[in-house]
Structure 1
Amino acid sequence: MDINKLMKITEELQEYNQQALKTHMEVSENPDYSPDFFAEVKPFADKVKESADEWKPLAEQWIVEEKPDYFYIKQIDDTHENLLISSVLAFQSDTKKKRFREMIQSIEYIMSGIQNDIRKKY
């Protein structure tokens, strides 16, 4: 189990998560703005997917090996899926703000919880 790699990718995904929130706020404040799919949306979504796909098996392995009290495989699956969805929804001005923010908060909750649990043990 590579704890340092899990921590590094978790931090990276947190940065992408915050970037998605910032992008969504900018897009929703300017409804006339239409992002270029191939120049903006796809590159960002691809970066998030690459990191999320690398993070998921590490996080699952961590849960299996460490058996943390408050984390489960299902949460990792859901967080992985939410990361992929939010990376695209961030660029859509018609995305509901409340729902999007809740998704971002859910991702952040899992990410910071994993980091805090790892810091306590190591």
Structure 2
Amino acid sequence: MLHIQAFLEKTKQMIEAAEKGAARYEDGKENDRSYDFFATIKPAVEQNEELVSQWTENALEFIKIHRPKYIYEEQIHAVKENFLEIMLQSYVHHIHKKRYKDLTESVLYTLQTVKDEIAKEGSL
């Protein structure tokens, strides 16, 4: 059973995590910062994996029930994959700046579109 409010909260959490990740990536690139794998990176990635898995499940159910005009199953799977990539890369910086920016913008665009669709469905 899809709980719209919980799905909206997860979407907002993902937007916030992606924005924080982008800031961390910028800071790490500029200041040549490194993070401890076991103390910082692994727990953060695992936490984000849990969040994105729950969100993906909710998003696919939302699409099935509400059939939004501009959100497709392929986009949801792309967000899952790209979100995990940008979360990891925000710590390790093994990706070019332009690629990171493009992935982040893509994820944020889809998340914002989903958030808008949830709000639209919630107001009906």
Say yes or no: TM over 0.5.
yes
**RMSD after superposition:** 1.0
Q: Which runs of 5+ in 2 are unaligned?
A: none
Q: CA deviation at 1:5?
A: 1.1
The whole-number CA distance in structure 2 between the counterparts of 1:108 and 1:59 is 15
Aligned to 1:101: 101
Aligned to 1:20: 21
Q: Number of residue pairs matched?
A: 121
Aligned to 1:5: 6
After the TM superposition, which parts of structure 1 deviate over 2 Å for at least 4 consecutive aligned residues?
A: none
Q: SS state of the match for residue 90, structure 1? A: helix
C-alpha distance after superposition, 1:41-79 (max 9, x if no partner): 112111111100111010000001100001110100010
Aligned to 1:56: 56
Given the two structures, how large is their TM-score scaled by the length of structure 1? 0.94
The whole-number CA distance in structure 2 between the counterparts of 1:74 and 1:103 is 15
Q: Which runs of 5+ in 1 are unaligned?
A: none
